[in-house]
A and B are shown apart, each in its own frame.
Chain A
Amino acid sequence: MSTNMDGGGLGAELSQASEWVEHATLTAERQVYWRKGERHAEREIGTKTRALHVFVDTNDQRGAAVCYLEDRDGDRLRVKDALSAARLALNPIYRLPVGAVTFPTIQLGEELANGEVLASFGTELQARVRAMGATVSHLELFARQEDEEIAGSNGRVTRWRGTRYEMDLVLAAGPGDRFEHRLLRRARRLSELLPAGSLEEAVEVVRDRERAVLPPTGRVAVILPAAELSVLLEVMRARVSAEALYQKFFAHKVGDRLITPRQDSFSLAADALRPYAVASAPTDTSTVPAGRVSLIEDGVVVGLLADPQYGAYLGVPPTGPAGTLVWEAGHTAAADLLGDGPVLEVVAFSATMPNPATGDLAAEIKSGYLHEGGRRTPVAQGSVSGNVLEFLANCRASRETAAEPGFFGPARVRFEEVQVAGGS
């Protein structure tokens, strides 16, 4: 793959741009669908995308716009339109990075699994589930290979290849398969879709669902797994975004304390170099190489995620792709987080969507366990609510770690005094 912009006959149009970056992506994807154990659909899709970012400077202002090229008639007009759009959307000046740079080489995939491998993975998975006394009512497996290239008018060019896998798995159990539990997993390698023990744990959850009761209403300690923690961190990602701070979504600045820890300290970094991490990439679309950056240390903002535009506005260096948010693990064994009851261990919320502006969260409990008096009772429905910043100020993190898309950190975290709405 080559962007070959001049060869595409767009040199005249691009000469009117102060700067430009092209991001080309070629993907090949296989999709296999099962329903009640039967493979009922397969699809193969190819995609070629060429996104062209153009920048036009006028005096001390810069306009930017994006258009998508189609390798055929009309591309010249699309570029002209984008240039016109950029001239209408002027902002304070900033520039793309300059100078030669070596982009990091990151392991981002494997040889793409072919249809037979995917079919075999799905068939074996379903056999394992059946052997454990549950069924698979729905399974989708997607495998995608991506070839990407970023080329800028600043002379920076890099290419990379990666793979992505996605699994949507619905387990059923109980009388007439009355109850279900859903796993949506994403990974760079097929073998990482189901970490050791995760399928067994999911089957146990769906089998226990029949005995589930409403959790009691009140303020209790709540333990969340890594999959839910990763979503909670979106509240913090917003608070270390140079764009969000420049746009006054928040009133704090670098050096300000966001969290006053009452138990474990809270420290957060971003790492776009993690091998095989879903969020890793050698560069962003502004040709800034990937790296690692410390964002929060013991509750204090020490760094920001910035692209060249907002980095320039705030006087901070651009950081490249955001990558994986890394939450510093704690010192407590996960098993010891249970401590004294009652403790509500949430396996999954129905939908975890904290409000990034306010930090407030309210989510239905899809499945979980109440630990009290040495007993472990399955719970479902009811809800957990509160503010993520308040949660983080009063928590203990496990020393065991886990990886989720965009997240690496403690496998479990215990939050104290969390509001639960349930039964009496």
Chain B
Amino acid sequence: MNLLETTREQALAGQWLSRSRVRHLSIQAAASIAVTQSPPREGTVARVVQGGVQREWGVPGWHDWIQPATATEEFRWLGQTPVAGVSLADKIARVRDLQERVAASDPRIAQVMVVYDERLEEKRITTDCFDRSSEIARILFAVVVLVHDRGRTEQNLVLRGRVGGFEVTDLPEEEVREGIAAAVRMLDARPIEPGSYRVVSAPEVSGVLAHEAFGHGVEMDLFLSGRTRAAESMGERVGSPYASIVDDPTLAQGYAGYPFDDDGTLAARHVILDRGILRGGLADNEAARALSASGGNGRRQDYSRKVYPRMSNIFFTPGTATVDDLIAGVEEGVYLRQVESGMEDPKNWGLQVTVHSGEEIKNGALTGRLYRTMAMTGFVPDVLSSIDGVAADFVMWPGMCGKGHKEWCTSGTGGPHLRMTARLG
């Protein structure tokens, strides 16, 4: 297939046109004390960035090329309390209030940064068959806690984010308090002894495992370029019967949801891994046509970048066990929390999930002994085949995802607690 995809070509072909606007508001507040001034000056540093509207030129007039639409669909995913109805002053007040309360809560805290981030996306895609438009609000609310002791800096992150409204900022106090305590505890963390461990993963770790193991690896442009081993393994067992992975842009708790993708295809839930059997991939229009797959996962970083097949909200599906059950079944192992980063390797089925914190499990119980940043690595089918326990809980985390090291899109990752075996170091 020789698909010439210039913005001008698209317009001239009259097949479809797209228009998108992204308005971005970011508010940060951090209590600060100057360290080299005399006398030290105290204050709060606040920052507001708004705007970020992107637009295209080089395309002939937008209205010149619209064909009569046979179906018009409008989607508004703005949450219970749309952020457009909340004043900027109230948004800043929410950030300041939390920042000041957290900073005052523990003398060991060196810094607290609270970040509120809203992205309002307007999209409209018109073809000779449909005219679809959407308004979506993506809200992030994060608390970063830094503590210093004995020359060492530690941090922890409490993060919430999903498509929705201002209600996303309703962060439970208990969660924030636990985040502070975790940062302080990490000051005593030590490096882990490298090796193979029984592991219980928190939902954010489970989610990135899904994302890196069989998220990128089933983006079906890689099937066309021969860049993924998954293409040869459809219908085969690559994980244990406990392992099921789904991508769902319609998931209410997800940060990366959308009603239609950047090709204009309506969003749909896709089962990737069904009880250990590799079932399907994620396609944009081009891959869907070439491979007779269903589309709906065509996404672009912004108008300046091409559409690629991409994940949306990807997760392991929940099971029936309790988290205590999973931990109780580990004689010696590690409980993994807080992801720092991850990386895929679809061709060689390698895996990297870098985790900020681990806690020793001994004789079926957490011991309180903590481990510092470590990488979970392994051969993907080996790791997924080792999953022998899935909890009934379910939590999604927001994030950004690159394809390789570029093409950044919003992402949602999560699922339940999992128990498995993996190499840590």
Q: Is A125 an interface residue (CB 8 A)?
A: no
A421 touches B35 (CB 8 A): no
Closest to B353 in A: A364
Q: Is A76 an interface residue (CB 8 A)?
A: no
**A247-B45, A357-B153 in contact; A313/B34 too (CB < 8 A)?**
yes
A contact residues around B35 at 8 Å (CB)? 245-246, 248, 251, 253, 314
CB distance from A212 to the nearest CB of B (A): 9
B contact residues around A42 at 8 Å (CB)? 4-6
Q: Is A332 an interface residue (CB 8 A)?
A: no
Q: Is A33 an interface residue (CB 8 A)?
A: yes
B55 touches A70 (CB 8 A): yes
Q: What is the CA–CA distance of A360 and B120 in the complex, to the nearest angstrom?
A: 35
Q: Is A66 an interface residue (CB 8 A)?
A: yes
Q: What is the CA–CA distance of A136 and B377 in the complex, to the nearest angstrom?
A: 27
A contact residues around B3 at 8 Å (CB)? 40-41
**CB 8 Å contact bits of A218-253 with B (1 = contact, 0 = none):** 000000000000000000000000000111111101
Q: Is B39 an interface residue (CB 8 A)?
A: no
B33 touches A65 (CB 8 A): no
B contact residues around A178 at 8 Å (CB)? 347
A contact residues around B153 at 8 Å (CB)? 249-251, 357-359
Closest to B4 in A: A42
A381 touches B342 (CB 8 A): no
**CB 8 Å contact bits of B353-373 with A (1 = contact, 0 = none):** 011100000000000000011
Of A7-15, A44-52, A196-204, the stretch lying at the interface with chain B is A44-52
Q: What is the CA–CA distance of A84 and B225 in the complex, to the nearest angstrom?
A: 51
Query: Per DSSP, are chain A's interface residues mostly helix, strand or loop, or mixed?
Result: strand
Q: Is B343 an interface residue (CB 8 A)?
A: yes
A contact residues around B304 at 8 Å (CB)? 29, 45, 47
Closest to A166 in B: B406
Give the residue of B6, B43, B341, B425 whose beta carbon is less than 8 angstroms from that of A385: B425
Q: Is A344 an interface residue (CB 8 A)?
A: no
**A41-B4, A44-B6, A177-B226 in contact; A357/B50 too (CB < 8 A)?**
no
B33 touches A364 (CB 8 A): no
Closest to B59 in A: A46
B37 touches A315 (CB 8 A): yes
**A42-B4, A421-B195 in contact; A89/B225 too (CB < 8 A)?**
no
Q: Is A180 an interface residue (CB 8 A)?
A: yes
Q: Is B340 an interface residue (CB 8 A)?
A: yes
Closest to B58 in A: A46
B contact residues around A78 at 8 Å (CB)? 51
B50 touches A65 (CB 8 A): yes
A364 touches B343 (CB 8 A): yes
B contact residues around A361 at 8 Å (CB)? 373
A contact residues around B406 at 8 Å (CB)? 166, 168, 184
Closest to A43 in B: B6
Give the residue of B57, B405, B425 whose beta carbon is less than 8 angstroms from that of A382: B425
Q: Is A159 an interface residue (CB 8 A)?
A: no
CB distance from A270 to the nearest CB of B (A): 19
B contact residues around A48 at 8 Å (CB)? 57
Q: What is the CA–CA distance of A341 and B33 in the complex, to the nearest angstrom?
A: 48
**CB 8 Å contact bits of A45-72 with B (1 = contact, 0 = none):** 1111101000000000001111110100
**CB 8 Å contact bits of A385-402 with B (1 = contact, 0 = none):** 110000000000000000
B contact residues around A137 at 8 Å (CB)? 225-227
**CB 8 Å contact bits of B49-66 with A (1 = contact, 0 = none):** 111111111100000000
A357 touches B51 (CB 8 A): no
Q: Among the interface residues A78, A92, A386, which one has the most CB atoms of the partner chain B within 10 A?
A: A92
CB distance from A235 to the nearest CB of B (A): 11
Q: What is the CA–CA distance of A178 and B345 in the complex, to the nearest angstrom?
A: 12
B49 touches A65 (CB 8 A): yes
CB distance from A290 to the nearest CB of B (A): 23
Q: Is A31 an interface residue (CB 8 A)?
A: yes
CB distance from A62 to the nearest CB of B (A): 11
Q: Is B15 an interface residue (CB 8 A)?
A: no
B contact residues around A41 at 8 Å (CB)? 3-5, 306
Q: Is B327 an interface residue (CB 8 A)?
A: no
Give the residue of B7, B44, B89, B306 whose beta carbon is less than 8 angstroms from that of A33: B306
Q: Among the interface residues A91, A166, A363, A381, which one has the most CB atoms of the partner chain B within 10 A?
A: A381
Q: What is the CA–CA distance of A145 and B3 in the complex, to the nearest angstrom?
A: 25
Q: What is the CA–CA distance of A385 and B46 in the complex, to the nearest angstrom?
A: 35
Give the residue of B43, B194, B221, B340 whose beta carbon is less than 8 angstroms from that of A355: B340
**A246-B32, A363-B354 in contact; A66/B49 too (CB < 8 A)?**
yes
A364 touches B48 (CB 8 A): no
Q: Is B408 an interface residue (CB 8 A)?
A: no
A363 touches B352 (CB 8 A): yes
B contact residues around A205 at 8 Å (CB)? none
Give the residue of B44, B56, B155, B355 whose beta carbon is less than 8 angstroms from that of A357: B155
**A40-B1, A92-B43, A184-B404 in contact; A68/B343 too (CB < 8 A)?**
no
Within 8 A of A (CB), among B109-148: 110-111, 113, 146, 148
Give the residue of B44, B89, B354, B378 whose beta carbon is less than 8 angstroms from that of A362: B354
CB distance from B21 to the nearest CB of A (A): 10
**A66-B49, A88-B48 in contact; A45/B227 too (CB < 8 A)?**
no
Q: Is B396 an interface residue (CB 8 A)?
A: no
A179 touches B347 (CB 8 A): yes
Q: Is B289 an interface residue (CB 8 A)?
A: no
A383 touches B425 (CB 8 A): yes
**A45-B304, A78-B51, A82-B50 in contact; A38/B2 too (CB < 8 A)?**
yes
Residues of A within 8 A of B (CB): 29, 31, 33, 35-36, 38-49, 51, 63-68, 70, 78, 81-82, 84-86, 88-92, 137-138, 166, 168, 170, 172, 177-180, 182, 184, 209, 217, 245-251, 253-254, 313-316, 350-351, 353, 355, 357-364, 366, 380-383, 385-386, 419-422
Residue pairs across A and B with Cβ atoms less than 8 A apart, 29 shown, are A35-B225, A41-B306, A44-B7, A45-B303, A46-B57, A51-B51, A63-B46, A85-B48, A88-B48, A138-B227, A217-B425, A246-B45, A247-B32, A247-B113, A248-B35, A253-B36, A313-B37, A350-B352, A351-B343, A351-B405, A358-B153, A360-B373, A364-B343, A366-B350, A381-B377, A381-B379, A382-B423, A383-B374, A422-B194
8 new A-B contacts at CB < 8 Å, known A251-B148, A351-B352, A381-B379 = A40-B3, A41-B5, A42-B6, A85-B50, A217-B425, A383-B425, A419-B194, A420-B194
| Interface pairs A-B: 6 shortest CB-CB | A421-B425, A421-B194, A68-B51, A360-B373, A351-B343, A364-B352
